[in-house]
Amino acid sequence: MSVTTGARRWLLAASALAAAVGFASPAAAAPSQPLEYVNLGDSFSAGSGVAPMAPTQVSQCWQSEQNFSHLIAQQHGYRLTDVSCGGAKTQDFYAPQYNGTRAQFDALTPTTELVTLMIGGNNNSTFAGAMASCIGAMVSNPGAQAPCRAQYGASLAAPIEAQTYPALVKALGDIHEKSPRAQVIIAGYPWLVPAGGSCFPQLPLAPGDVQYLRDLQASLNDAVRRAAQETDTTFVDMSQVSEGRDGCQPVGQRWIEPMLNATQPVPVHPNADGERALATEIMKAIDVA
């Protein structure tokens, strides 16, 4: 047998073996590029208060290296660009929020493949403003059952439908336009307070105003859900899984830190367990898609 013939037979045998065990050519075997992932949003998205802080964002944003987007990227090997920032409103998608930041939408590209976000709670100061108003109402009306509800009625929830909802629809639509290939996932907010009862002293609220604030949050989450539905965005509903995990629960059970005796520097926000829970639920949505 000639050397040429032997070499040819050897190459044929090697090719057959490679095919049998699933080897590919060097070009086909090259590792694929990691999925391009962008995280947008506010302090819940940024994981504000959960140590350690991310060095890639300005300190005013209180962005955590252990927020849900970082956990998801680590789990799946995604290439993450996280521009979430504490205090963000939908308007901060379009313009810089602080010196040293950029408009959050600048992170989106036509090749972005996954976008996650939480947003809306700071629009019209829904969360912080309502909490401050209800604490003030309790201080001004000691012993009253629901002084915040009595004083403000539907006025705190009215801007959600009139202003926050259309802002959410526009923002989600613009994300799809800027990154048409991306799966866009927006998460609702986990419960901050229980369905009823007293939350004192963790949150200094009159007993009847716990339900009042719960109703306000339910209105916001419903606006987020409807905006997602209108824009073909994936909505992650945190209401069921976070029941009994609010800021009035003991350490180890709660996903939200209370205002008093909090275990992190940013109260009434998700703790590390809360960010892990958000990551778990969002990853389920990614897997389904």
Catalytic residue positions, numbered: 43, 269
CB 59 within 8 A of CB 239: no
Amino acid identity of residue 233, one-letter, is T
Q: How far is it, in rounded angstroms, from Cα 238 to Cα 255?
A: 11
Q: How far is it, in rounded angstroms, from Cα 228 to Cα 268?
A: 25
114-118, strands of its sheet edge to edge:
79-82, 36-41, 114-118, 183-187, 234-236
Tokens of 38: 């962008």
DSSP string, 78-117: -EEEE---TT--GGGGTS-SSTT---GGGG--TT--EEEE
Shortest CA distance to 165 belongs to which of 217, 108, 220, 202?
Answer: 220
Three-class SS state of 258: coil
Count Cβ atoms below 10 Å from residue 14 Cβ, excluding itself: 11
Count Cβ atoms below 10 Å from residue 284 Cβ, excluding itself: 11
Tokens of 4: 């040429």
CB 118 within 8 A of CB 187: yes
